[in-house]
Amino acid sequence: MDTNDYLSLFIDESREHLQAMNDNMLALEQAPEDIAIVQNMFRSAHTLKGMSATMGFEDIASLTHKMENVLDLVRNGKLRMEEHIFDIIFQSLDALEAMLTDIIGGGDGKLDVTQIVTVLQQIAEGTYGQSSGSQGNAVKAAAATGNTDVARGMLDQLDEYQKTVILQSIEAGYRTYIIRVVIRQDCSMKAVRAYMVFESLGKCGEVLAANPPVEEIEADQFDYTFTLVFLSELEAAAIQAVVMNVSEIASAEVQTVTETELVQQMPAGNVSHRETAAAAATVTTDPVPAGKEPQAGSAVQKSSQKQQAAAQHRTIRVDIEKLDSLMNLFSEMLIDRVRLEQLAQEVKRSDLIETVEHMGRVSSDLQNIVMSLRMMPIESVFNRFPRMVRDVAKTLHKKVDLVMTGSDTELDRTVIDEIGDPLVHLLRNSVDHGVETPEERLKAGKSETGTIYLRAFQSGNHVIIETEDDGKGIQRHVILNKAVKNGLVTQEQGDAMSDDEVYQLLFASGFSTAEKVSDISGRGVGLDVVKSKITSLGGQVIVSSAPGRGTKFTIQLPLTLSIISAMLIKLGKETYAIPLSSIVETAIIKREAIRNVHGTKLFEFRSGMIPLISLSRLFAVPGFNEEEEEETEIVIVRKGERLAGIAVDELIGQQEIVLKSLGKYISNVTAISGATILGDGQVALIIDHNALMK
């Protein structure tokens, strides 16, 4: 099998399973007695084991195998989830993640996990054999006393429909058998042997159910043993012969199921098992070790997977490159559409105009869909945070609850890819510098456990992400002292600064407030990196704080990065675009309303004075100077709390524009964030108002 084709699938699914296990572990920490959670984890670990073994990643397989052993003991009530078990499993998950990362990076997923494996082994063995007759451990009991109960347990797993089929078959003269097939341990392709068993049985009857389910058997996810419910006219001995005919089969037990047994099964379905009359009860020489896949587990898996399937949407995985090229093609079409609209206006033929208008509506819908394809819930970024916050808090001996809301908020894929690191940084900061130690909190009259809120929500054309803690807040004097020490501001400047201005110093390059360098934060990468990252995504970050009560970072991000609404303006003969999201309003002011203060032009706007920015001067535009005009049209733009007016020659109107880069050769042009192609094929530059308002 060429496993390369499946590698990306394997990576995706392994990620999901690792995430699920992490989530489950966190849930389990809150409710250590909840066996259902352990079941979920066991399933994930088991699937991961099967997948990685198939793909040839032996280290992952063996580590998950050991994890399974421990989890198996826990879910069978033989082991209590104690702190050291949590820790070792978390460590295992980290190791698995590291291996997966290695595989993603093209490596072979090898990692020395001997230590973890040893500890897991000790945990598993330390309690192994203490209570072999334990009630909860039906599976192992079955393995020890014969396989009757396991086999009979199959009947429990049958659904009503299957039972009806069996009853009808019995009436029609068929017999029902439970066949337990054991494949030889040295068999290298057990899935193939299993398939051959199915194949030969299929010729003389009908396989009604299998445990583990057929899909898992086909995917090689079973431990040399599987059990079947089989309908046939043949005698038990004949069926056994059929199965044994397949090579590399160690043993095949065939048990007959009587009608009465089935009927008894029908109403309750969960009655405990009786001793059977026809039990062949040949004990296999293969006692199921603690961690070997107990069949009951897979059966549970089967039924719960069914439930999940009903709730899930039907989806397909699509290569991201295809989505990108779809986006590009759509962008080109959008440009042509604008061009068509212009032509239709010129030609003035009503049927042409109608068609173009209809096309316009269709392409708007199309645009919405194409854009939504690129949108991903921010969950994929958020879901690693609970674990991270837990670890950081634990290292620092703090108690922290992370409350996340709005993880279904959707953002453009590009933003999702980039936003993770800044958020990690902010959250680490919150745990490290924000939330106090339990003692400090108690002293301050707060509850011992600090709370960090992580919220995401949509607001207009933006997505807002907030991290808020109820810690000690930002202390103005600490920041100022540091800033003065680092030469960012002078003492006098600092004293004159407003609180907000002081908080902004946090984002200054090379600023780190940690009084002592810790492992968690303060490793030289400061909030300035967070800010530059978010700015490069077209967003902004604001900090607000109440001393003693907490700190809040607010990140504002554009919904999408590739198609935006913009206002087109003219300066002389040149056309520019200003992103609509930054525009507050447009206005006309008379020349005498503009005042010169210290060489800066100001004008009155809503009972405040705001600066007037002259693009014609800044861009040295030929053929236009607003100073020669009696009345100037202005576009009022906003950056954070601040407003400014941009003087323009003429407002053309609003349009959806496709963002294009200027090309590598002339990147970083002052106050130009990119370019777009207009309907007439001309390139228009997009104004970066943030740079104008520095």
Tell me whether residue 171 or residue 321 sits nearer to other proteins (CB atom): 321
* SS3 call for 353: helix
Tell me whether residue 117 or residue 658 sits nearer to other proteins (CB atom): 658
Count of residues that bind other proteins according to CB under 8 A: 26
Tell me whether residue 170 or residue 672 sits nearer to other proteins (CB atom): 672
Check binding of 619 to other proteins (CB under 8 A): yes
Which stretches within 136-228 are classed as H helix?
Answer: 138-145, 148-157, 160-171, 190-204, 214-218
The closest of 551, 534, 546 to 432, measured between CA atoms, is: 551
* Integer Cα distance of 660 and 544 in angstroms: 34
Residue from the set 620, 628, 630, 653 that interacts with other proteins by CB under 8 A: 620
Check binding of 682 to other proteins (CB under 8 A): yes
* SS3 call for 414: helix
Check binding of 664 to other proteins (CB under 8 A): yes
Subset of 548-577 contacting other proteins (CB under 8 A): 574
CB of 668 to other proteins, least distance (A): 9
DSSP 132: T
Tell me whether residue 118 or residue 667 sits nearer to other proteins (CB atom): 667
CB of 685 to other proteins, least distance (A): 7
For residue 598, the Cα-to-chain-centroid distance in whole angstroms is 52
Check binding of 670 to other proteins (CB under 8 A): yes
Check binding of 370 to other proteins (CB under 8 A): no
CB of 509 to other proteins, least distance (A): 20
Which region among 8-16, 150-158, 331-339, 648-656 touches other proteins (by CB under 8 A)?
331-339
Check binding of 325 to other proteins (CB under 8 A): no
Give the position of tokens 């609404």.
565
Check binding of 647 to other proteins (CB under 8 A): no
Contact assessment for residue 401 and residue 451, using Cβ atoms and an 8 Å cutoff? yes
The number of beta carbons lying within 10 Å of the beta carbon of residue 193 is 20
Q: Name the token pair of 251.
A: 């043993």
Residues 6+ apart with CB under 8 A from 477: none
DSSP 147: S
* Integer Cα distance of 106 and 100 in angstroms: 10
Q: Name the token pair of 358.
A: 């209809």
The number of beta carbons lying within 10 Å of the beta carbon of residue 304 is 14
CB of 625 to other proteins, least distance (A): 14
Check binding of 157 to other proteins (CB under 8 A): no
* Integer Cα distance of 11 and 23 in angstroms: 18
Check binding of 510 to other proteins (CB under 8 A): no
Q: Is 46 in the active site?
A: yes
CB of 311 to other proteins, least distance (A): 42
Residue from the set 125, 206, 332, 408 that interacts with other proteins by CB under 8 A: 332
Which region among 92-100, 107-115, 277-285, 327-335 touches other proteins (by CB under 8 A)?
327-335
Amino acid at 608: G
Check binding of 694 to other proteins (CB under 8 A): no
Tell me whether residue 220 or residue 324 sits nearer to other proteins (CB atom): 324
Any bridge partners for residue 634, and if so which? Answer: 587, 647
Residue from the set 331, 513, 632, 673 that interacts with other proteins by CB under 8 A: 331
CB of 605 to other proteins, least distance (A): 26
* Integer Cα distance of 382 and 406 in angstroms: 10
Catalytic residue of the set 17, 46, 425, 433: 46
CB of 581 to other proteins, least distance (A): 21
Burial class (CB in 10 A: 0-12, 13-18, 19+), 468: buried
Check binding of 684 to other proteins (CB under 8 A): yes
Which region among 223-231, 409-417, 425-433, 665-673 touches other proteins (by CB under 8 A)?
665-673
Tell me whether residue 161 or residue 665 sits nearer to other proteins (CB atom): 665
Check binding of 681 to other proteins (CB under 8 A): yes
Q: Is 4 in the active site?
A: no
* SS3 call for 692: helix
Check binding of 672 to other proteins (CB under 8 A): yes
CB of 681 to other proteins, least distance (A): 5
Check binding of 683 to other proteins (CB under 8 A): yes
Determine phi and psi for 456, rounding to 5 degrees. -135, 135
Q: Give the per-residue contact string, 103-142, with other proteins (x = CB under 8 A; - = no).
A: ----------------------------------------
Contact assessment for residue 383 and residue 17, using Cβ atoms and an 8 Å cutoff? no
Catalytic residue of the set 24, 137, 147, 429: 429
Contact assessment for residue 612 and residue 601, using Cβ atoms and an 8 Å cutoff? yes
* Integer Cα distance of 694 and 376 in angstroms: 33
Burial class (CB in 10 A: 0-12, 13-18, 19+), 97: middle
Q: Is 69 in the active site?
A: no
Check binding of 262 to other proteins (CB under 8 A): no
Residue from the set 207, 481, 669, 690 that interacts with other proteins by CB under 8 A: 669
Question: Angle between the 295-311 and 148-157 helix axes, to the nearest 10 degrees?
Answer: 10
Check binding of 685 to other proteins (CB under 8 A): yes
Amino acid at 310: A
* Integer Cα distance of 178 and 164 in angstroms: 16
Check binding of 663 to other proteins (CB under 8 A): yes
Residue from the set 74, 120, 252, 335 that interacts with other proteins by CB under 8 A: 335
* SS3 call for 121: helix
Give the Å distances, CA to CA, from 635 to 460, 611, 616, 678: 20, 12, 14, 20
Peptide bond before 579: cis, by omega within 30 degrees of 0? Answer: no
Check binding of 677 to other proteins (CB under 8 A): yes
Tell me whether residue 557 or residue 658 sits nearer to other proteins (CB atom): 658
Catalytic residues: 46, 68, 429
Q: Which residues bind other proteins (CB under 8 A)?
A: 331-332, 335, 574, 618-621, 660-666, 669-672, 675, 677, 681-685
